[in-house]
Amino acid sequence: MTDHAAATAAAAVKAAVAAMRIETPSWAYGNSGTRFKVFAQTGVPRDAYEKVSDAAMVHRLTGAAPSVALHIPWDAVDDYADLARFAEAEGIALGAINPNVFQDNDYKLGSVCHPDAGVRRKAIDHLLECVDIMDATGSSILSLWFADGTNYAGQDSIAVRQDRLATALSEVYDRLGDGQRMLVEYKLFEPHFYSMDLPDWGTSYAHCVALGDKAQVLVDTGHHAPGTNIEFLVSVLLRFGKLGGFHFNGRNYADDDLMAGAADPFQLFRIAHELVRADAIRPEANVAYMLDQCHNLEAKVPALIRSVLNVQEAVAKALLVDTGALVAAQQAGDVLGAHAVLMDAFSSDVRPLLAEMRVGMGLDPDPIAAYHRSGYQKKIETERVGGQQAGWGA
């Protein structure tokens, strides 16, 4: 490559990464843990407003996280329009609205798939209320994850539960306004261990196709069987225009919710390669990217900054793939050559390029160092004393 061509390629990578938006989830700023112990941290937000402030800090330092997802009722406030104005003043927007139909005692046997019509009604009403909240916050995405399922064979009818699911989704779908869409997430296991009502992308996809254009599949890294080829299903969903969003996180074993790119940066790169190949990184492609994580041991704000950087690095490497050489090798049946093209890109150190990109955006080249210098951690630890700390589930 000539110097000029290399400079043009670098500029294109910087522009594409700079344009990518990565939402952060409000719950990642709160305390979280396992069923064994939640280790509370100092400085953790006590309400939705403080979570928005932390999310705004991540955006100020990275320039890449301009919205924060809300979970209802964890982030319930009296006046959602007021929260939206507060977010705007802080420099971000309110993003996806995530209903919670898994923590009420009534939902022991499921929510929209529950055998009792009264419980199903309660769950659907909550989903509809969340669309009202979207109207107030200006959010365009209703993010649906259902804990519904069974623990024992014969506990309930798999088929009838699918009918109940379809009926509920369709009622909520009909309530969506112009410019609003629903993303249907799936998860193989947990909290139920015999059957989940939305266990995989195929089931989500089939429901979304039946519903229409405003329903799309939401993929979450940690929601698959170990060894699942996630980039494959990402590629297939993109091909059908049904990839609505992607929840980045890191997993070694299950739904670990570790930092994106921490457990398996190569997998993140392979996923990014399919996204880049389909031109799905740019905001106009309407694939909603979010970090769906929990920070149990590490400080939350710098962990989210680190995660944004990890996603950006994977995407930058994917953008560096020499597409011409890759296609030529693929066409020639050059197995090793084609693989080498991908590995070349994966092995590149893109950190200097991304540091340059940040300087070009008026940001500090090293957002983590900038965070530690900013005094923000000290400020929240000093100010956020008393009150009830937010936590996963609160």
Positions in the binding site for ligand RM4 (CB under 6 A): 27, 71, 98, 145, 185, 187, 220, 247, 255, 292
CB of residue 247 to Mn ion, shortest distance in Å:
4
Q: Which does 98 bind (CB under 5 to 8 A by kind): Mn ion, ligand RM4, none?
A: ligand RM4
Considering CB under 5 A, how many residues would be counted as binding Mn ion? 4
Rounded least distance, CB 220 to Mn ion, Å: 4
Collapsing DSSP to helix, strand or coil, 290 comes out as strand
Instruction: Report the distance separating Cα 323 and Cα 328, nearest Å.
Output: 8
Would you give the distance in Å from CA 13 to the centre of its chain?
Answer: 22
**21 interacts with, out of Mn ion, ligand RM4, none, CB within 5 to 8 A per kind:** none
Question: Which residue reads 């022991």 in tokens?
Answer: 108
The interface partner of residue 205, options being ligand RM4, Mn ion, none and the CB cut-off 5 to 8 Å by kind, is none
Asked if 71 touches Mn ion (CB under 5 A), the answer is no
Q: Are 263 and 250 in contact (CB under 8 A)?
A: yes
Decide whether 293 or 312 has the Cβ nearer to ligand RM4: 293
**Nearer CB in complex with ligand RM4: 61/219:** 219
- CB distance 27 to 74 below 8 Å: yes
The strand ranges marked E within 78-227 are 93-99, 141-144, 149-150, 181-185, 195-196, 215-220
| Mask for 271-310, x = binds Mn ion (CB under 5 A) | ---------------------x------------------
Q: Checking DSSP bridges between strand 181-185 and strand 149-150, what pairing results, if any?
A: unpaired
Q: Does 220 bind Mn ion (CB under 5 A)?
A: yes
Least Cβ distance, residue 298 to ligand RM4 (angstroms): 18
Contact status: 164 vs Mn ion (CB under 5 A): no
CA gyration radius, the chain: 21
Q: DSSP letter string over 277-307?
A: HTT-SSGGG-PEEEE----SSS-HHHHHHHH
CB of 338 to ligand RM4, least distance (A): 34
Q: Which among 164, 95, 166, 101 has a CA at the least distance from the CA of 127?
A: 101
- Give the residue nearest to ligand RM4 (CB): 145
